[in-house]
Structure 1
Amino acid sequence: MLLTITTPKTRFKINLRLTIISVLTKALFLLSVFAVHSANAELAEMSPSQPVIQFSTSDAKWVHQPRFDSRHIRNLEGNCDPEEPCKLKRAEMKFLLIVNQEGKVANITVLKSSGSDKIDSEFMRELRRSLLKPFRKDSKTVVGKVTVPIIFEYY
């Protein structure tokens, strides 16, 4: 026969340890459930549930049009030489936009560069800030891609 003598202090320590173990077990369970849910969400995002459909440039209707003006270029290229008049410059670019079902630009690929990484990135920044009407096919909104050519003349 085993005789155990427990004092209130040791009973309190034992109960405290059991409570801590119980709380940690519940926390680990919740974390594992969250981890599984997050992993499933990532798999859902990565799986191509919908194909990306190519649309023509004329199908792109802007809700919030990108704003391209000379302030962008002036900040990047500098000002003209005061002794020499500014010459008209021309930047030609072409971008491929992936537009999600809400009309937001989800991804941009440079198809034709202006020749300047700074200019390209400035125009890409403006395109990301823009918003298009969602593309539709068979009366449903779809993920679409569209080619956007830009010709920009500046001094």
Structure 2
Amino acid sequence: MIRQATKKDIENIMPMIKRVVSVMRKQGNEQWDQSYPSAVHYQKDVERGELFVCEQADQIVGVCTISSRGHEEYPLISWSAHEKSWTIKRLAVDPEQQGKGITDQFFRFIELLAKQKDISYLNTDTFADNRHAQRLFSRNGFAFVEARRNEQDQAELYYYEKHL
């Protein structure tokens, strides 16, 4: 079941994120680390009403931020549309639960919620070395928009979009 997160959920989200980061590092993916995403990020997401969790048997097995605000570089991206959109951020599934369709559940949930709120456009991004996220976006109907180098840490980011 996917539901809106509460402040209390953060204490269960962060140990899961630590496990996710460990798996990402072993795969050679340095997109996340000990400082990102942090409890502060998730706290702000909860306060904005943007954080959602997937819960199974009273255990949080996934988390996702659905934001009405893109990242600071988003106005510079060559999106195919410049309409009201939602940005998918900080999507993570407990490594012990990966491969069970939880990310696909999140995407179906996001699309249904977006349609209910008259949002017809989704966007997101990931690091160039995060092949897992790239496959996930493609599998869920997102189209690659462009690659752009992040000047702060020299990482190359890939941007994706989906029209509903």
For the criterion TM > 0.5, the same-fold answer is no
Highest relative contact order (Cα 8 Å, sep 6+), 1 or 2? 1
TM-score normalised over the length of structure 1: 0.22
Whose Rg is larger?
1
